[in-house]
Amino acid sequence: MAGNNNNDKTQSEHLATDQPSNPSRRNLLKGVGVVGAAALSGAATSNLIAADAPPGAGSAADSIVAREALEVLTALEAETLEVICDCLIPSDDNGPGAREARAVHYIDRSLAAHNSAARHDYMIGLSAVNDYAHQTGNKAFHQLDRDQQNAILLAVQNDNLDGFAPSSGGFFNMVRSHTIDGTFSDPYYGGNRDFIGWDMIRYPGIRLGASESDVAQGADLAPNHQSAYDHSTYTKMAQNMRGIPDSRVRGGRDHA
């Protein structure tokens, strides 16, 4: 993958001029509320990479997340991807982010299943990110400081780098969409650990019914921290769709 002075100049310019007026990606995500989280994979976030967490906030480097067996990603790919996810939805003084929600765990599982067609693009793209990190910073991507990481991701987002499939901008959009999915989807699918994503947007959780009092409380309704698959109705639906015997169907908490 080639890098040149024009690319370097573009990155520094973008760092100075392309930051949004309210650079906190977390505030943007909180603002969309319960309904809009999934929609953020579209144009609403097309020019956003989060600023560093403020001093005193729980930083990604200080976060300790249990390591798990990977299904398709290599150890280096997972390490690189985890930092990218953390740049997109970081922990800050409001709480944990994509790293703690195990967005990478969700993505890894999805690449072994319904997103298997994207596995090659991840392999090529993560390798290209690391190659460029070595060219410009003499280190692997996860070893760079956050400003350098954000500069590289802005170049990827703006389609300024080569070596990606189908393009660096396409790779960025794919990873951003999957990071959002892994942070905010039902814990059944491997992300949103401890309902971090739902708590972030103040989503009270799956309910099969709501009382008048529940409706009146609105966003103040206490979260129930239940997966859809903690309810037998959803579990049976999943079983019927997959043709799995009852004894093999597990609730969302087993998968979270």
Residue 17 lies in a domain: no
CB-based contact 123:77 (threshold 8 Å): yes
Burial 176-189 (b: 16+ CB within 10 A, else e): bebbbbbbbbbbbb
Q: Please give the average per-residue pLDDT across 53-70, as a whole number.
A: 50
Residue 155 belongs to some domain of the structure: yes
Question: Per the domain annotation, does 5 fall within a domain?
Answer: no
Which SS3 state, helix, strand or coil, does residue 92 take?
A: strand
Range of the domain at 191: 22-203
> Which phi and psi (to 5°) does residue 92 adopt?
-155, -165
Q: What's the first-to-final CA gap in the chain, in angstroms? A: 37
Tokens 């960025």 label which residue?
172
What's the pLDDT score for residue 164?
96
DSSP, collapsed to helix, strand or coil, labels residue 198 as: helix
Q: How confident is the model at residue 226 (pLDDT cuts 50, 70, 90)?
A: confident
More confident residue, 29 or 159: 159
How many structural domains is the chain composed of? 1
Q: What are phi and psi of 37, to 5 degrees?
A: -60, -50
- Give a yes or no: residue 121 inside a domain: yes
> Looking at residues 125-142, what average pLDDT do you find?
97
Give this prediction's pTM: 0.68
